[in-house]
Amino acid sequence: MTQRPAPLTGRRILDLSRVLAGPWCTMILADLGAEVIKVENPHGGDDTRSWGPPDAAGESAYYLCANRNKKSVAIDLSCAAGQEAVKAIAATSDVLVENFKLGGLDKYGLGYDQLSQQFPGLIYCSISGYGRHSPRAAEPGYDYVIQAEAGMMAINGDADRPPVKVAVAVADLFTGMFAAQAILAAIIAKDRDGLGQHIDMALFDAQLAMLANVGSGALVSGKEPIRYGNAHPTVVPYQTFETADVAIVISVGNDHQFGHLCRELLKRPDIADDERFATNSARVIHREALIPILRDLIRQHPSDWWLTELRRVGVPCGAVRSMRTALSAPEAIARDMVLSVAHPLAGRVPLIGSPLKLSDTPVVEPVAPPLLGEHSSDVLGGLLGYDAAQIAAAAGQT
């Protein structure tokens, strides 16, 4: 079968965002074939470029994780020539993505109300901490703060320890993924009626949405959730256990699996038959009685024995891997989730690949995240017909 073009081939995204939520969104669109033009301040570019070590030839690993398959153009938005250049790119674009503070682009004539009048087909996605229409719209959005304020920290960690944040910036990442979904929906709508629209994405909203079953539980019960650390609030046993050597995860998803665990592996059918433990609802209520019994029994064999036997009887389980072990796992390699791409300064750089696997319209071959202003001449010269003096003027070089 002939391979079809990537889904967003022919679409252009004007990316005025920086740091993580916006760049994560536009990287997803770039993987899907869109031409993403990343506009950066000529004086340092995206903040994350300097967020190292670690780095590859001066480009931080943080920046590298969110900016593959893009073109970087150095433009100074504070000067008239830079503002005109951005407007000219916007005129040819399907989507604009930005994460400036409230009113930050309006002063340059690049706000939604201004550009939508000139380009009614433009999809304009704004990403902020609390949304453009919010009593806190003027406040900046920081992932750590959002994790704290939107409930994530309250449910993360052990009950007898202080709340903790998730180690990666999940509020940013959730928002970037939701923004990509919203943009794809807006593109479908534009294909239908030719009109763009404003997409208002808030980190706070995205984090609340991703509280999922725990947030729903708080609404339904009217009670604050308890932190369970590496255990599950409503499924038991579903947590880490120490074996004779190292910890593993055992995730018993139903009563049938619990019976296999007790009867075939633990050789303790009495546990499965005990009315306190026979059903998941009963196990949730009596977890304090059950878990110490299981801990003592699971410590009797090493992790390899448990992983082999649990998989044999169909009980979900897994090793607690280090980061490097996970990234080098056979399943990661088989799924092309770790890639090596050519880089103009570092020779080659390793990247985590796209998880999007489409059979007939696959994501594009990865290209290394661009150097600051690497494509200024190609984009401004090729797309807008600028000469060298105009390109320099757009970068604020007078």
Identify whether 5 is preceded by a cis peptide bond (ω within 30 of 0).
no
Pairing relation of β-strands 247-251 and 238-242?
Answer: antiparallel
pLDDT at 2 over 80: no
DSSP β-bridge partners for residue 37: 14, 71
Q: In what order do the strands lie in the sheet with 12-16?
A: 70-74, 35-40, 12-16, 95-98, 123-128, 198-202
Distance CA 180, CA 26 (A): 7
The amino acid sitting at 364 is V
Q: What is the DSSP string of 122-151?
A: -EEEEEESS-SSSTTTTS---HHHHHHHTT
pLDDT in tens, 344-377: 999 999 999 999 999 999 999 999 999 999 999 9
Instruction: Report all structural domains of the chain as residue ranges with CATH numbers, in order of start.
Output: 12-210+334-394 (3.40.50.10540), 238-320 (3.30.1540.10)
| DSSP assignment letter at 263 | I
Distance CA 127, CA 112 (A): 12
Please tell me the predicted confidence (pLDDT) of residue 129.
98
Categorize the per-residue pLDDT at 1 as very low, low, confident or very high, splitting at 50, 70 and 90. low
Please tell me the predicted confidence (pLDDT) of residue 273.
97
Distance CA 250, CA 261 (A): 10
Please tell me the predicted confidence (pLDDT) of residue 117.
96
Please tell me the predicted confidence (pLDDT) of residue 216.
96
Pairing relation of β-strands 247-251 and 317-319?
Answer: antiparallel
| Selected catalytic residue, list 31, 76, 143, 172 | 172
Categorize the per-residue pLDDT at 391 as very low, low, confident or very high, splitting at 50, 70 and 90. very high
Question: Percent of the chain having pLDDT more than 90?
Answer: 99
The amino acid sitting at 33 is G
Q: Which two tokens stand for residue 230?
A: 């590496």
pLDDT in tens, 145-194: 999 999 999 999 999 999 999 999 999 999 999 999 999 999 999 999 99
Q: What is the mean pLDDT of the chain?
A: 97
Categorize the per-residue pLDDT at 227 as very low, low, confident or very high, splitting at 50, 70 and 90. very high
Block residue for tokens 């629209």: 197
Please tell me the predicted confidence (pLDDT) of residue 205.
98
Q: Which two tokens stand for residue 276?
A: 């306190």
Does the annotation count 191 as an active-site position?
no
3-state secondary structure of 149: helix
Q: Which two tokens stand for residue 392?
A: 């320099």
